Amino acid sequence: MKSKNSSNKILALIKSQGFNKIELDSVLETKYILQRSGENFRKYLFSFYNSNGEELCLRPDLTISSVLRYAQGNRFSKEKVFYTGSAFRKSYNKKNILINQIGMEIFSSKDENKDDKEIIDTSIKVLKKTGFKKAKVEIGNFKLFELLIQKLSIPQRWKDRLIKFYWNKEYFSQLLKRLDSNSDIDPFILAEDNKTYLKMKKQNPKKMIAGRTYEEIIGRYERKIYDPRLTKTGKISSKIIKEFLKIKCPLKDAPKKLNDFYKKYNINISVAKEFFPISTFQKNLKFEFSTSSGRGREVEFYSSFIFSIDVKIKGKTKTFIAGGRYNDLSSKNLGLRKIPAVGAAVNLGVYE
């Protein structure tokens, strides 16, 4: 099936579900991308300066453009929207990439579970409308990971660190090794750190070093002193996290699988059957649950529900639709007010 023909069918179907078409700006102020995502993201942007000296960039992601449109338009009521277009992002191998997508989103949900279900139900309708007979639907939920981490017997600063760097698989793996072994805690270094700490206590607390005040550095060091990381609890916590991230099973078995895991480690969390936004399991669709959803580890802004729909084209497995809930994207990543939102993107590149 050709991409253009499929695109028209998808747009018609999404419109029939009550989503309203919007147009997105092709250019964004770079500050919205870099102020929370960091300078490391700059290498993926096509950026330039306007006559006023403001740095702009071609939109690297359609979801970000859509969220900015909603926030900057002072919108507060629920909206169901869809759009189509290209995102412009450099790839890891230095080639320029044009990403063609159709997206749909629901802003300011009053009932998040209901809207999550509507997004994935519409995504499955899109799948069927475009002629795919079989597919794998993988469901995850980042909130389950957050809840688990908060229940562990480790210092809060470590809980915050593990949650923050979950998205960076390489660094996250290093954190688990440190948590497991305490190999990064050297008594000689600690002794030197303590000397430096005592000297800093006598200095002006507002004095700056490496972008931070003495007061901030002292506060952080004191938190380490008064809430130390213990080898035994670190090792146990690392084991629990690793085992949790290996959980993968048919979606219908997920509540029991998760509850058995929590019971095994005496963790006070319970998952109800209604937790996942799938009420019926359709023929020819393989529904799976994963605590370490590949899509979720790639896209940092998801805050809870995550899903992807994979199809086979010419013998190759490709992600056709992916999405989830990103309530914190506007506040944590863009520095704007918090906007509850859920959405999905259809990857038109699967036909290429």
Instruction: Kindly report, residue by residue over 90-136, the tens digit of the pLDDT.
Output: 875 555 588 899 999 999 988 999 999 999 999 999 999 998 888 99
* 3-state helix, strand and coil shares in percent for the chain, rounded to the nearest 5: 45, 25, 30
Q: How far is 281 from 142, CA to CA, in rounded Å?
A: 22
Cβ–Cβ < 8 Å for 307, 137:
yes
Domains of the chain by start residue, with CATH: 3-147+241-351 (3.30.930.10), 186-228 (no CATH)
209 has a pLDDT exceeding 80: no
The model carries a pTM of: 0.82
Residue 186 has pLDDT above 50, yes or no: no
Report the distance separating Cα 307 and Cα 120, nearest Å.
Answer: 8
How high is the mean pLDDT of the chain? 85
Instruction: Say if residue 168's pLDDT is above 90.
Output: no
Looking at the predicted structure, is the pLDDT value of residue 210 above 80? no
